Every structure is written in C-alpha cells, then in structure tokens.
Amino acid sequence: MLSKKTKYGLKALAFMARKEDTSPVQIATIASSENISQKFLESILLTLRKNGVLGSKKGKGGGYYLLKAPKDINMSEVMRILEGPIAMVPCVSLNFYERCDDCPDENACSVHSLMIELRDSSLSILNNKTLADLI
Amino acid sequence: MLSKKTKYGLKALAFMARKEDTSPVQIATIASSENISQKFLESILLTLRKNGVLGSKKGKGGGYYLLKAPKDINMSEVMRILEGPIAMVPCVSLNFYERCDDCPDENACSVHSLMIELRDSSLSILNNKTLADLI
DNA sequence: TAATTAACCTATAGATTTAGTAGATTAAAT
DNA sequence: ATTTAATCTACTAAATCTATAGGTTAATTA
C-alpha cells in the first residue's frame, strides 16, 4: 500500500511541475490546493529537499522549487526517497537489501523468484517514468 | 512491503505443493520446517481454508491439504486473500475499490495513471503464475 | 533595525496494523 | 475414553503511519 506520505509528495511535486515558471511555491499553497495537512506536507517536502529533489528559499517570496526539469526527475528515485524499497521483500531489494530471518537459503526460498519478477516489472515502469509523465 | 502473513502463507502452500502425495500436513510440521511461529501459521492456514484454497481434517492423521492441483492455484487469488489488494492505492483497485478522501476528481489525480500502470504490470505477472511456479 | 514571512527543527500523540501469544473448544481417529 | 490436531476467542507488544504543537532560523521588506 502506498503511504499518504508518498502520495502527498508525488502530488506536491506534480503541482510544482505544472507551474509555468520555476519560482518558489509555499507549502501553504500546495497544502490547500491539494487537500493536504500543512504540517504533514512540511515534513514531506523537507525530506525531498534533503534528498536533492527540491530546493528551498526562506522568508517572503520563499518556498520550495524543483531542482531539475520535471522530465529529469525519475520516479524510481522519488519512490525510493518517499516510500523506501521498490521490492516487496528486503531480500530482493537492490537498494535496501536485508537478509530474511526465516530463510536458511535465499535461493531455495519459494517466494524469492516471484518477488524478483514483481520488483523488475515495477522497476521497468518506474525507471522509465519521470515527473513530466504525471502532469 | 509483503507482510509476514503472506510470505508464510506462500511458503506453507509451496511446502504442501512439493509433497508427492496429497495427504494432510500438520501445522506443526510446516511451522518447524519453515521456521514459522506455529500459532501464527495456524491463523494463516485457517484464512486459506476459509477462502477455499485449503481443506482440513481434524484428529489424528489430520492437517491441511490443497483443494486443487498446484498449477490451478492462482497467485493473484492467493495474494488477494492473504495480502489484500494488488494495487498500491484503493482508488485503482479492481477488487477492493475505495475513493480517496483527498481527491475531488479521481481522473485529474496525477498519481492515478502511474498506479494503474503498476497495478497492471503486477497483475500480468500474478494472473499468469500458479503455485506450481513456486516450486 | 524592526517586523514580517516562510522554511526548519524537535518532540510528541493518537490510530492503525502487524506479528505473535495464551488458553479453551471441537471433531476425528484409535 | 484417550489422544490428536484443527478451531475459536481474546489479548498484547511493538512498530509504523499520520499527523499536531510549538519554538527557531533565515530572508525580505519597510
């Protein structure tokens, strides 16, 4: 299940991408336009800034802005920042790998290959989607 | 993220599918072979029985058994029983549809079409996989 | 320089879900 | 009648999610 955090984050990014100019947008503006709790959105946008997706500017006329053109903001990158691993189990995650406690032998696990297939099919979509595709 | 419930359920089903004969398998046998808490596994197998995937027999020589051949047990069906919706958001779920509170217009939602693509790619895999493919 | 604006930071809280435990009951076989 | 193994009910601990509250910092403007 996609978390609200990710959903709101994607909506906020799309909101910024839809603007013609690249001037900063205030949290309050996005929050009210997209029906998102402002405080919650604050922490989401902060995460995106700390991970190099957004830039910010304080004070009057300040806000958040995209650091790259929408077509250069990749969906798998954004999903990993907001949602975490693309894979459904950590033992097949490319970027967040972890062993499973219950599996003595990963390659003997009956779930393993199915999870790899699912991961790859999701990745093939997300790797080829950008923020520009959302608008 | 795949829940332990689903993971354990799939492992238990694969365990049963690997046997040559179709005689009942006891919870305790599966639990110890697959490193699963017995009590937890109990509730999982019960769910699978109530949803028509497994049959059961009480008393000595009892246990759980597959109601169909592994090649006829579909993965999207099992996933829906154990994990719930295939889709990452309820508003694009085929079997568990729900509106989103924050979306005035579903079709205007920037996340919507991406979620449909992801759902469809997962479904195309799961619809064509059976329990026989796990073993 | 003072006031205003808007991002930034820390802490916390309520709700929900997940994963698991405990203990009693029911049905089948011996 | 005893043993076996599924079934049922209830509960708990921990983690995660979705926020909320309140103060701090930095930039702009008057």
- What integer is the mean pLDDT of A72-78? 98
Written as one letter, the residue type at A116 is I
Chain B nearest C-alpha distance from A57 (Å): 25
The model's pLDDT over B38-70, given as tens digits with 9 standing for 90+, comes to: 999 999 999 999 999 999 999 999 999 999 999
Set of chain B residues whose Cβ sits within 8 Å of the Cβ of A111: 2, 7, 10-11, 14, 134
Set of chain A residues whose Cβ sits within 8 Å of the Cβ of B75: 114
What is the share, in percent, of chain A residues with pLDDT greater than 90? 93
β-strands B63-66, B54-57 pairing: antiparallel
Q: Average pLDDT over chain B, rounded to whole? A: 96
- What integer is the mean pLDDT of B100-128? 95
What is the share, in percent, of chain B residues with pLDDT greater than 70? 100
Residue A39: predicted pLDDT: 96
Query: Is residue B102's pLDDT more than 90?
Result: no
The model's pLDDT over A104-133, given as tens digits with 9 standing for 90+, comes to: 899 999 999 999 999 999 999 999 999 999
The model's pLDDT over A14-29, given as tens digits with 9 standing for 90+, comes to: 999 999 899 999 999 9
Nearest to B83 by CA among B130, B48, B40: B48
DSSP A36: -
Residue B24 banded pLDDT, cuts 50, 70, 90: very high
Would you call B96 helix, strand, or coil by DSSP? coil
Kindly identify which residue of chain B lies nearest to residue A131, measuring between CA atoms: B110
Residue A41: predicted pLDDT: 98
DSSP A108: G
Nearest to B2 by CA among A84, A76, A124, A74: A84
Q: Which two tokens stand for residue B2?
A: 């795949």
Residue B63: predicted pLDDT: 97
- What integer is the mean pLDDT of B69-94? 97
- What integer is the mean pLDDT of A48-58? 97
Three-class SS of B3-42:
CHHHHHHHHHHHHHHHCCCCCCECHHHHHHHHCCCHHHHH
Query: Is residue A102's pLDDT more than 90?
Result: no
Kindly identify which residue of chain A lies nearest to residue B135, measuring between CA atoms: A110
A114 membership: H or E segment, kind and range = helix A112-126
Residue B32: predicted pLDDT: 95
Chain B nearest C-alpha distance from A83 (Å): 10
In whole angstroms, give the CA distance from residue A52 to residue A46.
10
pTM score of the predicted model: 0.94
Residue B20 banded pLDDT, cuts 50, 70, 90: confident
Are B101 and A11 inside 8 Å of each other by CB? no
For residue B102, give the nucleotide whose C1' atom is nearest its CA.
D18
